[in-house]
Amino acid sequence: MKNNNIAILGSTGSIGTQTLAIVRNHPELKVAALAAGSNIDLLEAQAREFHPKTVAIYDETRWKELCERLNGTGISVVCGMDGLNETAGGSGADIVVTAVVGMIGIEPTIKAIEAGKDIALANKETLVTAGHIIMPLARKKGVRILPVDSEHSAIFQSLNGEPKERIASILLTASGGPFRGKSKEELQKMTVEDALKHPNWSMGKKITVDSATMVNKGLEVMEAGWLFDVPLEKIQVLVHPQSIVHSAVEFVDGAVIAQMGVPDMKLPIQYALFYPDRRELFGQRLRLTQIRKLTFEEPDPETFRGFALALSAAKTGGSMPTIYNAANERAVRMFLEKRIGFMDIPASIEYCMNRHQATASPTFEEILSAEQEANRYLDEKWGK
């Protein structure tokens, strides 16, 4: 197996901790590096348990304390963007699990690919904003981008190496989130507490809010476009409230191959780590007789405007998906801080998209300036 040594960017989060749960069950996996934002308590505990060579803390104000706490362990402690880049590109890892939240993941992902490391990609914001940089670079460097997002893992498993010419369409499933079936008027009143109650999945706060707005599904359409190199017209979103069919591929002969399972991120994470092997995974199993009914319906882009705006940003392409994503990241932060309402999230995205003049194929620097542009527009709209 090639990918024995792993680095995890975002080790203290939902995907990061589940990745470490898999490592715990597979002694052949070694942790080369861990990185987190500011949670030094959990990062310290993880460092003591898994003995990486390097840990990175993005928040530079926590660096000194973490150094003191890990003094004598022989673990090197780095910080800031340089630290994050070092864990991605410089550690002894063969595979980097990108589980940070947001487009902060772009630069370390590029560093990891440049250093020839495979990527187990959870951080969808990176592909949405910089897919045109990441995918060609990965091809050039001969590294694999292995999807961790459950739908994309399902598509990857369903494709199982078949060439894209045989794809008639990708059937990307969506749970519909906690607000499926609600009217626009009802959505206006939804609180942070309501939005954080996802019916099927337990995830970080940002992606949970994205699921409630259906922005997550919009981001996933763009992510699928980059990962599988298919045009938008071939990606069909189906709302499937049971979250059992994680996604499917319809081939040119009409065969539909789907991957099913209980909603548990450990399967897609483990599949990416051991690909192309499959290993035993303990936990709940799918019992179809207990499920009895699987239903599928069309999404409602009229009510879930955040989803419709994603399709429009994807169609425009270039720097527009960055504006879409950056506006959403900022708006979700403000919603979680209770500064704006739930429907102000899509309104913020639309406000920024209406102001932006898209440019084709933005460079990394241009992507960062598009992010700043979206933040400027939202400063104007809501105050700093």
Q: How far apart are CA 357 and CA 142, in angstroms?
A: 34
The site for ligand NDP (CB under 6 A) is made up of 10-16, 35-39, 58, 84, 99-101, 104, 122-125, 149, 201, 203-207, 265
Question: Please, which residues have CB within 8 angstroms of residue 303's CB and are 6 or more apart in sequence?
Answer: 182, 183, 184, 187
Residue type for 359, please?
T
Partner from ligand NDP, Mg ion, none contacting 16, C-beta within 5 to 8 A by type: ligand NDP
User: Residue 48 or 189: which CB sits closer to ligand NDP?
Assistant: 48
Partner from ligand NDP, Mg ion, none contacting 37, C-beta within 5 to 8 A by type: ligand NDP
Q: How far is the CB of 170 from Mg ion (least distance, A)?
A: 13
Instruction: With CB under 5 A as the rule, give the number of residues binding Mg ion.
Output: 3
User: Residue 5 or 153: which CB sits closer to ligand NDP?
Assistant: 153
Question: Could you count the other beta carbons within 10 Å of the beta carbon of residue 311?
Answer: 18
Sign, CA torsion 299/301/306/308: positive
Q: How far is the CB of 252 from ligand NDP (least distance, A)?
A: 29
| Beta bridge pairs of residue 236 | 171
Question: Please, which residues have CB within 8 angstroms of residue 103's CB and are 6 or more apart in sequence?
Answer: 125, 126, 128, 129, 130, 322, 325, 326, 329, 367, 371
Q: How far is the CB of 286 from Mg ion (least distance, A)?
A: 18
Partner from Mg ion, ligand NDP, none contacting 15, C-beta within 5 to 8 A by type: ligand NDP
Q: How far is the CB of 237 from ligand NDP (least distance, A)?
A: 16
The answer to the question of residue 149 lying near Mg ion (CB under 5 A) is yes
Q: How far is the CB of 18 from ligand NDP (least distance, A)?
A: 8
Residue type for 164, please?
K
User: Residue 269 or 323: which CB sits closer to ligand NDP?
Assistant: 269
Q: Give the gyration radius of the chain's Cα atoms.
A: 20
User: Residue 36 or 323: which CB sits closer to ligand NDP?
Assistant: 36
Do 295 and 240 form a contact (C-beta atoms < 8 A)? yes
User: Residue 44 or 264: which CB sits closer to Mg ion?
Assistant: 264
Q: How far is the CB of 249 from ligand NDP (least distance, A)?
A: 19
DSSP secondary structure of 192-260: HHHHT--SS----HHHHHHHHHTHHHHHHHHHHHHHHT--GGGEEEEE-TT--EEEEEEETTS-EEEEE
User: Residue 121 or 187: which CB sits closer to ligand NDP?
Assistant: 121
Contact residues for Mg ion, defined by CB under 5 A: 149-151
